Copies of this chain bind each other. A is one copy, B any other.
Amino acid sequence: MRVAITASNTQKFTKNTTFTLAEIASRSIINLLFDSRIQRSEIDGIIVSSSSFEPYLSNIISEMVGLKPKFSTKVENLCNSGTSGILLAYSLIQSEVCNAVLVTGVEKQDSPGNKLNWDITRGIFDMPVHWASLYASNHFRKYGTTIEDLASISFKNHRNANKNPNAIFFDKYFTLSQIMDAEIVVSPLKKFDCCYPCEGASSILLVSEKLAQRFEQPIWIIGISQNNQGASFASVTNSLDSIMSTKLAAKDAFNQADLSPSDIDIAELHDAFSILEIMAYEDIGFANKGDGKKMIRDNLLSTNTRGGLLGCGHPIGATGIDQTTEITVQLQGLAKQRQINNVKTGLVHNMAAAGTSTTIIILRN
């Protein structure tokens, strides 16, 4: 049985409001339901994705928005929570446990998911930017990737964010030289190479093939896979060149879809740091190892059209949902001022914790 995404809603990513998690999530759901051709009573599953500590969050949100679903749970998988929720929703529908599952990602700026204290393999270098800087230094040394390449990634994604009213940097314009000249955080990474934790919510509706007939532009999940290599930076890979979970998840998803990377028209790549977009090009298979920089130098693929994590901000549990939302609206032709022409097949790449886990979703209209 095929599973479709038929509706989505993202609320503006912002910072430090007085709204609670449940309020932010509820607003996104209510807006989704307002637009969508489905009754509350038909939604028989809800999955809430969040790194927050709020207990029973999926049931709290259900009550606030007037849902009494058959299935409800919260999932937590750090930055990979959102697409973990989508994979579970896909599975609930495929297995006919549910017919229509709402997946909502929500986070506050002070999310405890910003840092993984458990991973003592990182020593005192325990912020995410520490492992990201190692990836970047390695890529510079081995493959000739440059500070200009990283800045080009950040510049592109910030320019894309200028077309996305939900992005936290929607109305902030940065020139390439501002990005190049920003202060160093951990060498070689500078301020604009790093995403910004923020608050926000994004919701998406997955439905069965039968229910999808009611919608004009269902977007079909034709490949979906996840891979987990552990939790510590030390377990990501045997070298600093590749992120194993991304390679394995992408390979499996392409097999399911019976497609290859050259079939992808548009992609959301997990650019928590600019270097990760370069590595994603390579590990997913858009470029050979070491050639990721060519993708940006030669502008070979439409990526991170919503602005990526760099331009949108990174509300942890919401990011994977908003990435999927972006590909969905692009394939529906509803992306307004940031619409890319003639896109039929899109890919979502969502990761957590230095790349210890990755989810890949391939969508088609």
Closest Cβ of chain B to A315, distance in Å, is 15
Which residues on the B side are within 8 Å of A353 (C-beta)?
56, 59
- A154 sits at the interface (CB 8 A): no
A226 to B95, CA, bound (A): 15
Please determine whether B95 and A59 come into contact, CB atoms closer than 8 angstroms. Answer: no
A254 lies within 8 A of chain B by Cβ: no
Q: Is A77 positioned at the interface, with any CB of B under 8 Å from its CB?
A: yes
Is the C-beta of A232 less than 8 angstroms from some C-beta in chain B?
Answer: yes
Shortest Cβ gap from A43 to chain B (Å): 11
Chain A, interface size: which category?
A: 35 or more
In the bound assembly, the distance between CA atoms of A298 and B55 in angstroms comes to: 39
Nearest-Cβ distance from residue A44 to partner chain B, whole angstroms: 10
| Distance in angstroms between the alpha carbons of A68 and B68 in the assembled complex | 35
Contact B231 A60 (CB under 8 A): yes
CA distance A51 to B75 in the complex (A): 11
B112 near A63 with CB under 8 A, answer: no
Which residues of the partner chain B approach A226 to less than 8 Å between Cβ atoms? 70-72
Q: Chain B contacts of A90 at CB under 8 A?
A: 95, 97
Chain B residues whose CB sits within 8 angstroms of the CB of A81 once the complex forms: 73
Q: Is residue A53 contacting chain B, with contact meaning CB distance below 8 A? A: yes
Q: What chain B residues lie within 8 Å of A72 (beta carbons)?
A: 77, 84, 226, 228, 357
Q: Which residues of A contact B (CB under 8 A)?
A: 22, 46, 51, 53-60, 62-63, 68-78, 81, 84, 87-88, 90-92, 94-97, 112-113, 116, 118, 224-232, 235, 252, 352-353, 356-357
